[in-house]
Amino acid sequence: MSAQQNLVFGLHGSLYGISADFVREICWLPELNSLATAPVDILGIFNWRSRMVPVMHLDLRFGKGFSGCNVSDRVIVVELQGTYMGIVAHEVFDVQTLEIVPIDLAFIQSRSAEPIENQNFITGIAQRHEQPVICLDLDRAMREPDVVADPNNPALLISGADLDFYRRCCPAATVADRATFATRALQLKTSIVQAQSVSIEQGVLVVQIGTDYIGFPLELIVDVDALDRFTVSFVPVAPTYILGQINWRGQILPVVELGSVLQIPALPRQELVVVELKDGVKIGIAVDRILDVFYITTERIEQLPLAKGSGMRTYMLGMTEYQDSLMYLVKLQELLEREFLPATV
């Protein structure tokens, strides 16, 4: 019996433990990109602090059935001898000193009619609050050559890999879920560097206001929802661009309409985007539709034509092609601070 510091996490009701010495960060599951030559247990990769990290699912590693991922899942980033890996968990509990009892895996294997694929990955069994904890040997779980194949090789990236992630892992993901996954991915990387290029990507939430496609910066997005799920309370003597106030998760937020500033005809809006500015102020923005999460490199951003009105030109970073049309990229932080904050706070 040996005592070790282990991080305890849960997956499908089972508890697992890994040595806390190897844990580098615990984060929410982000949007993943797929690798063409990855083994079945690798769901994809993501940019973690400018390092491409593959993400492994233990169900697939152990040869069990795979039921997909949830927006509430976590990723435990571990490092072993310079190799980084993410492990999906439903829940992450705490770091505990566990008394690990070795088990006779050879005896269990001899009693099984079918090979036990994961027997070499287990160091022993411990207990946490009278529940068994399966303690894993990360060295054995990670050391297979194909599992840790170089994720930085751009030739291995699958075209449309984010869509592959949703089809395989989150087929029931809503537009709000996709925005959440994409926002997490953006926040986890300190920079996005394309292969043999220094072009910087930025993520935007694509919405429709009137007949125009508008891109909001993903790093400001907190939530998206249907506007009719909230009671919009009228605010006396408020400017016409303030539609009212809502109770959002216990907070009273103003709901504003950008059409008047951007010189887009005002229509009854159907969807809600909640943003948080850099000073912590939250504002709801009413839009017609929430469409997509989109990534664009800086060289694809073009200047607005002179024909566009001064209101749109003032607060637009530029425009880019989107679905055989044009999308306008808004300077949302600047727009809200200058046009709306004095009236809403």
pLDDT along the chain (345 residues), means of 10: 81 90 89 81 88 90 85 92 92 84 62 50 84 88 53 42 75 86 81 42 85 90 88 88 91 90 77 87 92 81 68 80 89 89 58
What's the pLDDT score for residue 29?
Answer: 94
Q: CA 133 to CA 61: how far, in whole Å?
A: 18
Q: Which residue has the tokens 């709901």?
A: 255
Among candidate residues 88, 33, 35, 34, the one with its CA nearest the CA of residue 60: 88
What's the pLDDT score for residue 155?
Answer: 39
Structure tokens at 222: 């907190």
pTM: 0.54
C-alpha separations of 31 from 141, 186, 187 in Å = 23, 9, 11
Q: CA 260 to CA 129: how far, in whole Å?
A: 59
What's the pLDDT score for residue 69?
Answer: 93
Q: CA 277 to CA 260: how far, in whole Å?
A: 21
Q: Which residue has the tokens 């992450």?
A: 92
Burial of 48 (0-12, 13-18, 19+ CB in 10 A): buried
What's the pLDDT score for residue 115?
Answer: 44
Q: Which residue has the tokens 């287990």?
A: 122
What's the pLDDT score for residue 307?
Answer: 53
Structure tokens at 229: 């799920």
Q: Using one digit for the tens of pLDDT, what is the confidence trace for 141-156?
A: 886 544 444 444 443 3
Answer yes or no: are the C-beta atoms of 39 and 146 closer than 8 Å. Answer: yes
The Cβ of residue 82 has, within 10 Å, a number of other Cβ atoms equal to: 5
Q: CA 164 to CA 56: how far, in whole Å?
A: 16
What's the pLDDT score for residue 149?
Answer: 40
Answer yes or no: are the C-beta atoms of 94 and 8 closer than 8 Å. Answer: yes
Structure tokens at 252: 């009273």
What's the pLDDT score for residue 262?
Answer: 82
What's the pLDDT score for residue 119?
Answer: 54
Answer yes or no: are the C-beta atoms of 209 and 287 closer than 8 Å. Answer: yes
